[in-house]
Structure 1
Amino acid sequence: MSARLRCVCCALPRRALEHVGLGHHHAATERLRSERHAHTVDLRAAAANGKRERFVFDAAGTEALPGTLVRPEGARAVGDAAANQAYENVGITLDFYAKVFGRDSLDGAGMDVSASVHWGEGFANAMWTGKQMLFGDGDGVRVRGFTHCLDIVAHELTHAVTQHAVRGGLGIVKRKGKLDLAGEAGALNESISDVFASLVKQWHRKQDVKQADWLVGEGVFAPEIGRAVRSLKQPGDDRLTYGGDDQAGDMRGFVPGGDVHANSGIPNRAFYLAATALGGRAWEHAGRIWYDSVPRLKPKATFVDAAHVTSETAARLFGIASREQHAVQAAWQKVGVLPA
């Protein structure tokens, strides 16, 4: 993906920010869509041994990136919990992709990964900027930070995987000079990040599909605000997420031109249905199908395109008319993307 097509992808959608009374923070994420900050060190060249490395920086409440380097690869833990959490959770995510799918870092070619903590003053979001991770601290009351939440970190880093896997970017459009995700392709981009966020957490916890909670972002909100950011099992169920969650669980709730975070619930649930139909450890079957399918998606892919691609991938990996292919097709049918 070219530098001019890099996109800023955020952990909390506008709907969630408005729910917690921090909707004004959305303006900062919008601004970041058009601004690109230069790194003060060449991170790609920093790993002399040819292996990908992590670099955690402290932005110290400013909006400058990357900030002061506080924990490079191999360094001991520091006295900053957020820096240590970012370091560990980035590492777990990179290990997942390497050990499960044989992927060498986010780009598949051993790129180094940088992350900046304490970005902005009480900034209530986390994101992949197209170049690096950044984490705000939240207000400490309603939004309790992001670095501690493995699946939020994995969600954002997976945007980088998709960025490098889909030439031209999946669902990326330019609106009034700003980059954004739009349409069904944009919803697929968000869904891919949710799917692999859940898989990273399940893999790390050694959970099968029955043990998994299928939530993304549990613990980001204060308990009185909500439990999690999204549910793959029951999209839009605010008993599991937060009040006002508008995610759709099937095509009856699809909104043409609607928020990609809301429409992403449809492919999210399709993955959940396929994975639970197959049972066992989701990263071994449904996860492999989705992972191998991502590079085959076109920048303007629709839900129907994704259904066909994942079905074809299932047949290629596990055989035509295999239980895996049947599970994938049935999942897309149940959410109304394919005809029953």
Structure 2
Amino acid sequence: MPRTPVRSVIPPYILRKIIDNASGHQQDYARRTLNHVQHLMAHNWQKPVAPKNAVGGHVDREIYDAQNTESLPGTLVRKEGQPETGDVAATEAWDYLGVTYDFFWQAYQRNSLDNQGLTLRGTVHYGKDYQNAFWNGQQMVFGDGDGEIFNRFTIAIDVVAHELSHGVTETEAGLIYFEQAGALNESLSDVFGSLVKQFHRKQTADQADWIIGEGLLADGINGRGLRSMSEPGTAYDDPLLGKDPQPAHMRDYIQTRDDNGGVHLNSGIPNRAFYLAAKALGGYAWELAGRAWYDTVCDKSLPQDADFNTFAQFTIRHAQSRFNKATAQAIENAWKETGVLS
């Protein structure tokens, strides 16, 4: 059975900044989380199997409570047909798993992450003051944060959708998690994460904030979220977190061995390309630009080691074949503005 590497929402470089700049318990929490992330990245989890005879349009969810342990999945606290638990984290996880399912079904007729009705599982209250959330190929896992730097990780719908969207990319494109292909992998999760939030709020491209992780940073932290798709490099600037290091243009592309070759860093470039395309096309971003990106992810001829240029060409081609030349031209212009195409 195929195996899937873990994807976590807080990149290692943010945790390292906290370790460098914080002290006492904040430093300890960040160090413990970073060590755990590195352990997870080295672990491969079995992919789950969808239930038989899953009917499209009907989400199947399960929420578990780890009760501040690191045992997965934890105690089952809610499944379909059962009432709310009264636990805000469990309720947020439940609701946002459902919204993510509804988005993919209504926008792209996709039946869950694997398109076969996969049960969406989430575990809340993972670890003690755990500063991350992750998708391990089987389920979502949410830490509670420390309340000083990060709030609970169920608070941001785009974080939930970002992590779940890794499951879509793994099922369809299988982009390798390294350098430009890995940055595309991360960018796709930001794209669909942002689209799920926009879909939930019924926002057009003009109305959206294009922030990933809105609400995740605790009071007192100088930042709007983890990343800005509209202006990469501007999401935060804080004594503990440092300054958002994402580039927005190929001239600033970061060559590094860290972070799997900069997958969370250089994702800012395709993120901005998507934002520019969505803004130029107007209306709901999931209808034109989002559809071209989704069609590209589902194109089995997309190489697993695709670089930005290759991916860009695929999005233009799909925009032309599904829509028209004007849509394709707007997308091409966006890739040119970020320096991916000349």
TM-score, length-scaled by structure 1? 0.89
Picking from 270, 280, 285, the partner of 1:282 is 285
Q: Which secondary structure state, in structure 1, belongs to the residue aligned with residue 5 of structure 2? A: coil
Corresponding residue for residue 94 of structure 1: 101
- In 1, Cα distance between the equivalents of 2:49 and 2:166? 19
Contact 2:5 2:44 in 1 (8 A): no
Corresponding residue for residue 249 of structure 1: 248
C-alpha deviation, 1:79, in angstroms: 2.1
- Residue type at the aligned position of 1:184: Q
Corresponding residue for residue 114 of structure 2: 107
Unaligned 5+ residue runs, structure 1? 172-180
Q: Which secondary structure state, in structure 2, belongs to the residue aligned with residue 313 of structure 1? A: helix
Contact 1:247 1:262 in 2 (8 A): yes
- In 2, Cα distance between the equivalents of 1:220 and 1:25? 16
Corresponding residue for residue 146 of structure 2: 139
Contact 1:19 1:244 in 2 (8 A): no
Q: 2:57 aligned with 1:69, yes or no?
A: no
Q: Using a 3 Å threshold, how does the CA distance of structure 1 residues 318 and 38 change in structure 2: closer, same or farther? A: closer
Corresponding residue for residue 301 of structure 1: 306
- Residue type at the aligned position of 1:332: W
C-alpha deviation, 1:52, in angstroms: 4.3
Contact 2:230 2:275 in 1 (8 A): yes
Unaligned 5+ residue runs, structure 2? 20-29
- In 2, Cα distance between the equivalents of 1:183 and 1:309? 19
Picking from 27, 35, 49, the partner of 2:35 is 27
Q: Using a 3 Å threshold, how does the CA distance of structure 1 residues 238 and 96 change in structure 2: closer, same or farther? A: closer
Once the two structures are superposed, what CA deviation does each residue of 1:217-267 show, in whole Å capped at 9, x if it has no partner?
A: 011111322220000000011458963211110101102344111100000
- In 1, Cα distance between the equivalents of 2:139 and 2:53? 16
Once the two structures are superposed, what CA deviation does each residue of 1:299-325 show, in whole Å capped at 9, x if it has no partner?
A: 100000111000100111113xx2110
Contact 2:63 2:79 in 1 (8 A): yes
Q: Which secondary structure state, in structure 1, belongs to the residue aligned with residue 264 of structure 2? A: helix
- In 1, Cα distance between the equivalents of 2:87 and 2:211? 27
Q: Which secondary structure state, in structure 1, belongs to the residue aligned with residue 98 of structure 2? A: helix
- In 2, Cα distance between the equivalents of 1:83 and 1:3? 29
Q: Which structure 2 residues correspond to residues 196-275 of structure 1 after superposition, within 5 A? A: 196-225=192-221, 226-239=223-236, 243-257=242-256, 258-275=261-278
Q: Which secondary structure state, in structure 2, belongs to the residue aligned with residue 130 of structure 1? A: coil
- In 1, Cα distance between the equivalents of 2:49 and 2:2? 16
Q: Which secondary structure state, in structure 1, belongs to the residue aligned with residue 243 of structure 2? A: coil
Contact 2:172 2:297 in 1 (8 A): yes
- In 2, Cα distance between the equivalents of 1:318 and 1:38? 38
Q: Using a 3 Å threshold, how does the CA distance of structure 1 residues 229 and 96 change in structure 2: closer, same or farther? A: same
C-alpha deviation, 1:17, in angstroms: 2.0
Once the two structures are superposed, what CA deviation does each residue of 1:184-229 show, in whole Å capped at 9, x if it has no partner?
A: 0000000000001111111110111111000010111113222200
Q: Using a 3 Å threshold, how does the CA distance of structure 1 residues 214 and 84 change in structure 2: closer, same or farther? A: same
Contact 2:127 2:143 in 1 (8 A): yes
Corresponding residue for residue 174 of structure 1: none
Corresponding residue for residue 11 of structure 1: 9
- In 2, Cα distance between the equivalents of 1:70 and 1:310? 41
- Residue type at the aligned position of 1:13: P
- In 1, Cα distance between the equivalents of 2:262 and 2:228? 16
- In 2, Cα distance between the equivalents of 1:20 and 1:222? 14
Q: Which secondary structure state, in structure 2, belongs to the residue aligned with residue 127 of structure 1? A: strand
- In 1, Cα distance between the equivalents of 2:2 and 2:129? 28
Q: Which structure 2 residues correspond to residues 126-165 of structure 1 after superposition, within 5 A? A: 126-165=133-172
C-alpha deviation, 1:14, in angstroms: 1.4
C-alpha deviation, 1:159, in angstroms: 0.3
Q: Using a 3 Å threshold, how does the CA distance of structure 1 residues 273 and 329 change in structure 2: closer, same or farther? A: same
- Residue type at the aligned position of 1:202: Q
- Residue type at the aligned position of 1:142: I
Q: Using a 3 Å threshold, how does the CA distance of structure 1 residues 93 and 262 change in structure 2: closer, same or farther? A: same
Q: Using a 3 Å threshold, how does the CA distance of structure 1 residues 43 and 61 change in structure 2: closer, same or farther? A: farther
- In 2, Cα distance between the equivalents of 1:54 and 1:212? 28
Q: Which secondary structure state, in structure 2, belongs to the residue aligned with residue 282 of structure 1? A: coil
Corresponding residue for residue 177 of structure 1: none
Counting matched residue pairs gives 322
TM-score, length-scaled by structure 2? 0.89
Amino-acid identity (%): 45
- Residue type at the aligned position of 1:336: G
Aligned-pair Cα RMSD in Å: 2.1
- In 2, Cα distance between the equivalents of 1:245 and 1:306? 25
- In 2, Cα distance between the equivalents of 1:256 and 1:324? 32
Q: Which secondary structure state, in structure 2, belongs to the residue aligned with residue 184 of structure 1? A: helix
